Amino acid sequence: MIFKFRVLSTENEEFIRDYELPYDATLKTFHDLITKDLKFEDNEMNTFFLSNENWEKLNEYTYIDMDLDDEEEGEYTPICMDVVLLGQIIHKKHERLLYVYDILNDSSLYITLMESKKKEEGEKYPKISTSKGEAPKKIKNDDDILIRKSAFSDIMEDFDDEFDGFGEEFEGAYEEEEYY
């Protein structure tokens, strides 16, 4: 069985990739295909998330084994992507994954299973079946970071202006207490 995934980015609306991988390929194999195709550095802290229909992050699959003890493990303990097969987490059409390729800036690729099909004779997998648009760029220098921070600051300034004076009626309501 072959899974065909459509990959999109909010960084570049013209970017489209279709990747085809066997159902028994690991998430690490998928990661390797993405990093090679998009020329991302392979030594980054990339991660996959299984997501719901609203792109909310669910289970996490990390590039590096987090090596958490049982006591540290919670409901959503990250699992190393090199031990997770696509067929273990992808069960139906339009299942979604997020691939976070720049953790510091929360830049992600949006991945949707478009179809599952039989392996075609003579084809080698994994493969890229559609490639349109330029790959999204990772923030690599301080100028890019400053531009993004500036845009974020503008948004937050507008937000602050909207709520200017909120809570003034509560000022002085609580006196400072000393603790011994």
Supply the range of the domain harboring residue 119: 2-132
**159 in any annotated domain:** no
For the ranges 5-9, 79-83, 96-100, 151-155, the lowest mean pLDDT is seen at: 151-155
**179 in any annotated domain:** no
SS3 readout for the chain: CEEEEEEEECCCCCCEEEEEEECCCEHHHHHHHHHHHHCCCCCCCCEEEEECCCCCEEEEEECCCCCCCCCCCCCCCCEEHHHCEHHHHCCCCCCEEEEEEEHHHCEEEEEEEEEEECCCCCCCCCEEEEEECCCCCCCCCHHHHHHHHHHHHHHHHHHHHHCCCCCHHHCCCCCCCCCC
The per-residue pLDDT for 180 is: 40
**114 in any annotated domain:** yes
**157 in any annotated domain:** no
The CATH number of the domain where 126 resides is what?
Answer: 3.10.290.30
pTM for the predicted model, two decimal places: 0.72
**142 in any annotated domain:** no
Indicate the pLDDT class of residue 165, thresholds 50, 70 and 90.
Answer: low
The per-residue pLDDT for 158 is: 56
The rounded mean pLDDT for the chain is 80
Indicate the pLDDT class of residue 147, thresholds 50, 70 and 90.
Answer: very low
Q: How many domains does the chain have?
A: 1
pLDDT 10s digits, 28-80: 999 999 999 999 876 667 899 999 999 999 999 998 776 655 545 555 678 99
Query: Which comes out higher in pLDDT, residue 175 or 22?
Result: 22
pLDDT 10s digits, 9-42: 988 889 999 999 999 999 999 999 999 999 987 6
